[in-house]
Amino acid sequence: MNRTSISCLFVVALLTACQSVVESNRAKVAVIEGSIAHPQPGKMVYLKRQGVEKAVLIDSVKPDNNGKFRMEVKIETPGFYSLNLYNTQFGDLVITQPATIQVQADGQTNGTFKVIGSPDTDYLMRFYSLEQSFRQKADSLQQIAINGQLTQEQLIEAYHSISSHATSRAKQMIEESPVSIVSIVAAGALDADKELPFLQQIHQKLQEVYPTSEYVVDFGNRLEQISRTAIGKPAPEIALNSPDGKEIKLSSLRGKYVLIDFWASWCSPCRRENPNMVRMYNRFKGKDFEIFGVSLDKDKEQWLKAIKDDGLTWTHVSDLKFWQSSVVPLYRIQGIPMTVLLDKDGVIIDKNLRGQALEDRLAELLK
């Protein structure tokens, strides 16, 4: 091969390489084409990326007088975004790969907001719809209960039924799209304690595809925290003061089955559950069983009054710090009442049992 041929090949290779770089750069851009049905001339549209810690402004444009606008988004990792139309209408979208995404919106509060060309956004909207349906059914149940048409036990049973349906549907969505970052959002509908192995598998798949994604890293950190109080793990130590100011440790009750009951005097569901707790305690207290009541109260007098009024004769502790209590992050408390059942060695064997389900479990253990 002569020198001229080699030079030509070098030039061709260089041009090919340059073109590949250009195409690679282009491949990292998604285009948003928007159309607003009710334009507000002179007003702006803003695009923000929703991070784990905060939202960051990515771009802003002034639509034309017909409400048309165009944005380009450089994609480094998949992300959740929100569009602010005129500070009047807001909508979510998910951008994961190069694409032309069309947004059709009313531009009015609670108006229509439609995204075309983003399957991950479609997934997010389906999950939001599932969430909304669940909340509507839960609110309806609550109203029926307030009207006296359901007993407490019937309310709990009905709530568990609709919750189970929503959870099953959310899990199905995740199984259908295991490497979508939207699955991290949908995972919030699952009982992490019961679904931990499944969620860890999803995290592993996401990590293989998006190892540097802040959402995936945060998801992994949260699963790690969940695993510390998972069923089968030793219960983290709790050392708080009793009503008389004496420190009592959870570990001091080793050798008995222990039900940690997270509650508070101001918590209506907790107070309604207390008669059942008293009845069960009286039934099982002579059979190596103890309740360790941990209150999220902030007023000591109200805490003591509730203990006396409800006849709660078991062990009680609190740091009287309300939701800032040290036990809240330690046990990932998101709502009360919440229960954690330990075996005689202090290992977690069940969670969130109440009513008949709790009594049946205790009867099984304390024969």
Measured distance CA(151)–CA(265) in Å, rounded: 22
Q: Is residue 222 part of a domain?
A: no
- Tally of domains in the chain: 3
pLDDT at 355: 83
Residue 229 lies in a domain: no
Of 117, 136, 160, the residue at which a domain comes to its end is: 117
Q: Which residues are registered as beta bridge partners of 259? A: 291, 341
Out of 202, 220, 254, pick the residue that ends a domain: 202
Q: Return d(Cα 130, Cα 125) in angstroms, integer.
A: 9
Q: Nearest to residue 96, comparing CAs of 179, 152, 197?
A: 179
Q: Is residue 231 part of a domain?
A: no
In a domain, 209, yes or no: no
Written as one letter, the residue type at 148 is G
> Within a 13 Å sphere around the CA of 309, how many CA atoms are in the beta-carbon half?
9
What's the pLDDT score for residue 194? 85
Decide if 348 is inside a domain: yes
Given a cut of 60, whether residue 13 has pLDDT beyond it is no
On whether both 264 and 319 belong to a single domain, the answer is yes
Q: 308 with 356, same domain?
A: yes
Task: Return all residues near 300 (Cβ < 8 A) that are at least 6 apart.
Answer: 243, 320
Domain end call among 76, 101, 117: 117
Radius of gyration of the CA atoms of the chain, in A: 28
Residue 11 pLDDT > 70, yes or no?
A: no
Query: What letter does residue 41 receive in the DSSP assignment?
Result: T
Q: Is residue 223 part of a domain?
A: no
Q: Are residues 245 and 361 in the same domain?
A: yes
Cα within 13 Å of Cα(298), Cβ side: 5
The CATH number for 81's domain is: 2.60.40.1120
- Domain housing 190: 125-202
Look at residue 207 and tell me if it is in a domain. no
Q: For 142, how many CA atoms within 13 A lie in the half-sphere containing its CB? A: 7
Burial of 211 (0-12, 13-18, 19+ CB in 10 A): exposed
Same domain, 14 and 107: yes
For 167-224, how does the pLDDT look when each residue is reduced to its tens digit (9 = 90+)? 999 999 999 999 999 999 999 999 888 899 999 999 999 999 999 999 999 999 999 9
pLDDT, mean of residues 311-338: 96
**Confidence bin at 3 (pLDDT 50/70/90):** very low
CATH number of the domain that 350 lies in?
3.40.30.10
Based on the fold, state whether residues 176 and 256 are members of the same structural domain: no
- Residue 233 — very low, low, confident or very high, per pLDDT cuts 50/70/90? very high
Looking at residues 130-134, what average pLDDT do you find? 95
- The pLDDT, as a whole number, for residue 26 is 45
Same structural domain for residues 155 and 256? Answer: no
User: What is the pLDDT at residue 246?
Assistant: 96
Q: What is the widest separation between alpha-carbon atoms in the chain?
A: 101
In a domain, 214, yes or no: no
Same domain, 112 and 172: no
Q: Are residues 193 and 248 in the same domain?
A: no
The pair of three-digit structure tokens given for residue 219, joined into one six-digit string? 């998801």
Neighbours of 222 (CB within 10 A): 17
Same domain for 361 and 246: yes
Q: What whole-number percentage of the chain has pLDDT above 90?
A: 80
Does residue 338 share a domain with residue 314? yes
Judgement on whether residues 15 and 89 belong to the same structural domain of the protein: yes
**Closest CA relative to residue 78, chosen from 119, 45, 46, 116:** 119
The one-character DSSP state at 165 is H
Q: For residue 105, count CB atoms less than 10 angstroms from its CB and return exposed for 0-12, middle for 13-18, buried for 19 or more.
A: buried
How far is Cα 272 from Cα 156, in angstroms, rounded to an integer? 12
Model-level pTM?
Answer: 0.77
Looking at the fold, whether 144 and 161 belong to one and the same domain comes out as yes
Task: Give dist(CA 70, CA 168) in Å, integer.
Answer: 39
Q: How far apart are CA 208 and CA 216, in angstroms?
A: 10
User: Is the dihedral angle over the CA atoms 235, 239, 242, 248 positive or is it negative?
Assistant: positive
